[in-house]
Amino acid sequence: QRVAEHLRSNGVAVTVSPWIPGQLYAVSDSPRTIATTLNLLSSSVKDYTHISEEERAAVERSRSTLPNPGWVKITQGKYKGDIGYVFDPKQLNDFVTVLIPPRDFPYDMPKRSVALLDRARLPNDKTVSDILQDDKVVGWSYKGERYYMGLLLKNFRRDGLELVASPHANDIRLHLQSGWDVPFFKKTLKTFSLQFLRVGDSARPITGEVCQEIGTVVSTNHASGSACLKFILDGHGQELEFRLQDIERVFWVGDTVRVVAGAYAGLEGHIIKKSEDLFHVCQEATNEEPESLQIGDEIEVCAGEYMGKCGIVVWFPIGGTTLWFRAEGNIKDELINAPTAFVQRIRPFKTLQFTKERGYDVKPGDVVIVARGPEFQTKGVVQAVDF
């Protein structure tokens, strides 16, 4: 995207490939002209290919019709820079309908909020009508706007949209949270993650004769969307080529990894435990696992529909990916459920203090309260101290 935007700003006609992530089509008299225009960004381009007239025609057609479903980037107006989900098979009259997290709400929200619509905050009367699909409620209509699972249905001019073959996972986190078109969103996440597939990684096919056999990546071609895997079959080495969409990365305990999306983006370390799709990572810098949240921690929600809310964790199931917290100012029994990836601890909890001279400041007979963990707020008398 950065290369495409730079070329456009210098007057070069560019089309982002609707078929292959990371591939651009540019109109120029030679590759040298493009490289000169890119200047310092020229190293980002791995290869230049002169395309056929047939492919050029296909590219021209892709400019007029966007894939449905698909992803687009808004380039103008209030939603500039946001990613939307194409929800329009017809695409008539130079407008395209997309689903996008709303920036305007029919109830009070902090300025510049981006979140899913909260049905519980709409009136409970006939001014709100349900949107049905296969006899299931998938959204609501209110004051002339339509919302699908919290996402706003909105029309944009075609010339104000840019096709995105593989959006960053962080840019579609609210789409993922909404629960709309889960199969397509999972496919998008897989395409995004396979951009990081490298020689030496372990991977396995999900279709074909060697389905589920684990091989080693010996070459990748992200421009054509393919990779070559080497297998040991019947004691003999064999190399087979696959489309990237037909394989999945395999991680092993001990692998060195870098988190590329979510609250821990940028963290580097090695895997010390796996539980289905959940990985425990030991940080390289500290040689410790990222500190986990516990009941009693005070947190702030950093993304999603409850972004900006603070409160105390009151329930966090072992191995869970969501937690429940009581927000500041809420009535006693009202709890909010939020994904753990969207929250961070904001204040250190008050615990026993340690000094070299006196050790921990507690003795038998003291009354204490558990500050965090499963026994949060349990009160009792210290019977014995053993450090």
* Mean pLDDT, residues 377-386: 71
| Two tokens, residue 283 | 């940080």
| Two tokens, residue 323 | 């937690």
**Using CA atoms, how far apart are residues 130 and 214, in angstroms rounded to an integer?**
47
Q: State pLDDT tens for residues 104-128.
A: 999 988 888 889 999 999 999 999 9
> In sequence order, which ranges of 65-121 are alpha helices (DSSP H)?
none
The band of 138, judged by pLDDT with boundaries at 50, 70 and 90, is very high
User: What's CA 359's distance to the chain center, in Å?
Assistant: 45
Torsion sign (Cα): 263, 280, 260, 248:
negative
Q: Which of 286, 315, 325, 290 is nearest to 373 (CA)?
A: 315
Q: State pLDDT tens for residues 144-199.
A: 999 999 999 999 988 788 888 889 998 999 999 999 999 999 889 988 888 889 99
| Two tokens, residue 83 | 């990613």
**Using CA atoms, how far apart are residues 121 and 117, in angstroms rounded to an integer?**
8
Q: State pLDDT tens for residues 37-84.
A: 877 676 677 777 787 877 777 766 666 678 889 999 998 899 999 999
pLDDT given at position 357? 62
Position 327, amino acid: A
Q: Give 282's strand partners.
A: 270
Q: State pLDDT tens for residues 207-231.
A: 888 888 999 999 998 777 889 999 9
